Amino acid sequence: MRADRPALELDAVGLQIGGARILRDVTMQVATGEMVGVIGPNGAGKTTLFNIISGVAVPTSGRVLLGGDDVTGQRVHQRARAGLGRTFQTSSVFAGLTAGENVRLAAQARIGGATSPWRFPRADDEASGVALRCLREVGLDHHLGTTAGVLSHGDKRKLEIAMLIATEPQVVLLDEPMAGVGSGDVAGLVEVIRTLHRSGRTVLMVEHHMEVLLGLVDRVAVMHHGELLVIDTPKAVMADPAVQKAYLGESV
Ligand SMILES: Nc1ncnc2c1ncn2[C@@H]1O[C@H](COP(=O)(O)OP(=O)(O)OP(=O)(O)O)[C@@H](O)[C@H]1O
């Protein structure tokens, strides 16, 4: 990654499957340290965009650049090594392992070496140290030994972010981090995402919870029918009559 280039660039990205145009000419630049929210009605192409950025899907046209490097042809693990991390809409924690073991596995994936959590790791080995630091960053260090499956949805989301941090990404994609989270857990999770961003990471976030999204991000990208309609500050996007009328509805 080159420091003088945007952390993430999409250059006329398109995806056509059979006769269907899923994405059309999506161009955007996300500066290093910026947080951008991606919104749009169901089926607008948000998840597909994340899949293309993370390498799960390959665009049929255009380019994806990370820190100025063209990663369009790179696979998921190569992009992860290049500094890209992602969470998914559905929970990806191992329910039967402890919170600490979950993060330790993520740390081991980056550090390399044996990945079995049942190896009776020394408490002071590198991955265990990383796990504790990451759990502390999301405020879950008191759950180090708690089985992940019994955590609340909000704490599971925090645990996923701790697992993400353990892989040391510079660009982070959060796919609906508030999905399934109870109202009592929202404020805590918002703070974790704010900290994730303030620590210098570049964040791209799909989130249907508008109040949360608008309070967190520097800019909002509005997707509609596979196209990027507008990308601007929350204030400018909210004031855009076309956005309000066509994509945000009466409730905003
Ligand atoms: N592999 C595929 N083959 C055919 N159509 C697809 C494929 N993947 C996505 N689509 C279609 O592309 C459109 C965009 O889907 P996508 O899941 O990216 O939207 P989204 O904005 O994330 O929606 P949601 O908010 O519901 O998650 C949808 O109409 C979907 O049915």
Q: What is the pLDDT of residue 248?
A: 56
Shortest-distance Cα residue to atom 31 of ligand 1: 43
According to CATH, the topology of domain 32-44+80-248 is: Rossmann fold (3.40.50)
Helix count (H) and strand count (E) of the chain?
9, 10
Q: Which whole number is the average pLDDT over 64-77?
A: 94
Q: Which whole number is the average pLDDT over 69-97?
A: 88
Could you tell me if the CB of 224 is within 6 A of ligand 1? no
The ligand 1 atom at the shortest distance from the C-alpha of residue 226 is 14
The ligand 1 atom at the shortest distance from the C-alpha of residue 208 is 25
CA angle 243–246–249, rounded 5-degree value: 90
- Ligand 1 centroid from CA 236, angstroms: 27
199-234 pLDDT, tens digit per residue, is 899 999 999 888 899 999 999 999 998 999 999 999
Could you tell me if the CB of 46 is within 6 A of ligand 1? yes
The ligand 1 atom at the shortest distance from the C-alpha of residue 44 is 21
Q: What is the pLDDT of residue 251?
A: 43
pLDDT at residue 114 is higher than 80: no
- Ligand 1 centroid from CA 205, angstroms: 17
The ligand 1 atom at the shortest distance from the C-alpha of residue 223 is 21
Q: Which whole number is the average pLDDT over 3-14?
A: 92
Could you tell me if the CB of 44 is within 6 A of ligand 1? yes
Q: What is the pLDDT of residue 47?
A: 94
Q: What is the pLDDT of residue 4?
A: 78
Q: Cα-flanking dihedrals φ and ψ of residue 11, to 5°? A: -120, 100
- Ligand 1 centroid from CA 249, angstroms: 20
Q: pLDDT class for 138, splitting at 50, 70, 90?
A: very high
Could you tell me if the CB of 40 is within 6 A of ligand 1? yes
Q: What is the pLDDT of residue 246?
A: 64
Q: What is the mean pLDDT of the chain?
A: 88
- Residue with the larger pLDDT of the pair 118 and 187: 187
Structural tokens at position 46: 């948000």
pLDDT at residue 117 is higher than 80: no
- Residue with the larger pLDDT of the pair 145 and 247: 145
